[in-house]
Structure 1
Amino acid sequence: MTNTHIKTLTAAILFVPLLAFAAAPGSTDSIETRHGRVDVIADADATHLLVAGKKIATLGVGSASLFRITSAAEREYIIVQGSRPGLHCHYSYRLLALSDSGPKVSKEFGECLDLGGAGMSGAEPVVHLNSRVDPEAGVETYQWQGDDVNLVFESPTLCGATGFVAQKNAAPVRAPLASRVKGSGRLQFLSAPDAGCAMPGVFVVPGDKVTATLASAAFVYASYTNPKSGRKVQGWVPRERLSDL
């Protein structure tokens, strides 16, 4: 998995492929939402952001792209990716929140980074940004909190970032629940509730006993202690591979 891969996750944080609409100078592009159409209009002097035909912000960029974050909540969210052609720091970002009480635009964030993924963490959107130029720079995770966007986590990998958010938002199991691994073959531990986030060499086998403490859709966060070495490992596993869940 590359740092720039936009993933579809099945965790508490749900990522979906982003639908992009780019605005070039002299053009208008839009996304239809439940709260009105969102447009970016680039002219010779600036790029403007409009909601339901009303200009709500002038962006200090040469052009912009719109990315929808799918949400089942009353609020809808759009990522506005601004582009400054010719500069070393190509992109910057804003989040647009749409609701019955009116649109809100966040402060600018994530300058010089690329869009790695986005989705909902509970009722709030999360955006993962990284760098194509320097993949070792890691991933910055931003979340809408209250009326603005804040940096909430930094991780070397996208899996690490999504794992952090998933643990933060997962539902506790009623009580730490001991279960046996069922099915056939190894049960791979994952650093995030996503099959693409395997922890190399960390697995259990049918009959092993694990303890689940958190639940997130089709996954649980579980721990296993080797009865011989005493070594303890923790990670996400599909709940369907555990008994009593």
Structure 2
Amino acid sequence: MTYTNIKELTTAILFVPLLAFAAAPDTKTSIETRHGRVDVSADTDATHLLVAGKKIATIGAGGASLFRIPAVTEREYIVVQGSRPGLHCQYSYRLLALSDSAPKVSKEFGECLDLGGAGMAGAEPVVHLNSRVDPEAGVETYQWEGDDVILVFESPTLCGAAGFLAQKNAAPVKAPLASRVKGPGRLQLLSAPDTNCAMHGVFVVPGDSVTASLASDGYVYVNYTNPKSGRKVQGWVPRERLSDL
């Protein structure tokens, strides 16, 4: 995983690993889509959003950057990050939906926060925002529902937000659900299907019996109960480390 730019994933993956956004992302002012080219154009008074050369919205900002959200449907989504250089609250956001019908732009949301990640929750786009100035403030997850963008989840960490989105998109594991850990050495549990999201001190070892319930892009979500202490833990692990799955 790279920490210096945003990944544009293939349509087989429904969410962008949040830690890919941890450093300042590459900025784009133009993106080619199936429904026409999207551009931002700034003049002395405002920044304008254009689709296929036609102005569809005016953003009261000093500039804007565009980030694509890969989707598996015909509709495409773009995050529009407006900037206000010199102000304490530097960023605000809009979502742009592109389809065979007229483009649709959401209301402004997420003022004063930084872009932490973006992806799809089912058929709807979600955007994760956090604060680099105050990392303890946590992560806010916004989803476009109907005509509004609403706050749907809050997490103390980027990994927590990634885990939330992964569980919403993951597919149920087919029987058999019970499995045993295989391979060399202890198996670290993860709070999200991402090797950067280790749950420190939470692991299983070869031969341990776990129960898998969800699958997401080579990872499965498992539950484990310690037979001696009765302590229960759950998390994501690579599917290849489990037998009978």
Percent identity, aligned pairs only?
81
Structure 2 stretches lacking a partner, 5+ long: none
As a proportion of its length, which structure holds more strand? 1
Residue 25 (structure 1) aligns with: none
Q: TM-score, normalised by structure 2?
A: 0.88
Q: 1:9 to 1:104 in 2, by over 3 A?
A: closer
Structure 2 residue 22 is the aligned partner of structure 1 residue 15: no
In the aligned structure 1, how far is the partner of 2:109 from the partner of 2:149?
Answer: 8
User: Superposition pairs for residues 18-167 of structure 1, below 5 Å?
Assistant: 20-21=27-28, 29-167=29-167
In the aligned structure 2, how far is the partner of 1:146 from the partner of 1:178?
Answer: 40
Structure 2 residue 230 is the aligned partner of structure 1 residue 230: yes
SS at structure 1 position matched to 2:132: coil
Q: Which runs of 4+ in 1 moved over 6 A?
A: 7-12
Structure 1 vs Structure 2 CA RMSD: 2.5
In the aligned structure 1, how far is the partner of 2:133 from the partner of 2:189?
Answer: 30
Q: In the comparison of the two structures, how many residue pairs are matched?
A: 237
In the aligned structure 2, how far is the partner of 1:8 from the partner of 1:223?
Answer: 31
Contact 1:223 1:232 in 2 (8 A): yes
Q: Deviations over 1:155-190 (max 9, x none)?
A: 000000111111122122235711010111111100
Contact 2:186 2:204 in 1 (8 A): yes
SS at structure 2 position matched to 1:161: helix
Letter in 1 for 2:68: R
Q: CA deviation at 1:12?
A: 6.3
In the aligned structure 1, how far is the partner of 2:185 from the partner of 2:146?
Answer: 45
- Flag the structure with more relative contact order, 1 or 2, with Cα contacts below 8 A and sequence separation at least 6: 1
Q: CA deviation at 1:14?
A: 2.3
In the aligned structure 1, how far is the partner of 2:13 from the partner of 2:65?
Answer: 27
In the aligned structure 2, how far is the partner of 1:8 from the partner of 1:35?
Answer: 18
In the aligned structure 2, how far is the partner of 1:161 from the partner of 1:202?
Answer: 19
Q: Deviations over 1:175-219 (max 9, x none)?
A: 571101011111110001111100000000110000011111211
In the aligned structure 1, how far is the partner of 2:222 from the partner of 2:15?
Answer: 20
In the aligned structure 2, how far is the partner of 1:4 from the partner of 1:111?
Answer: 23
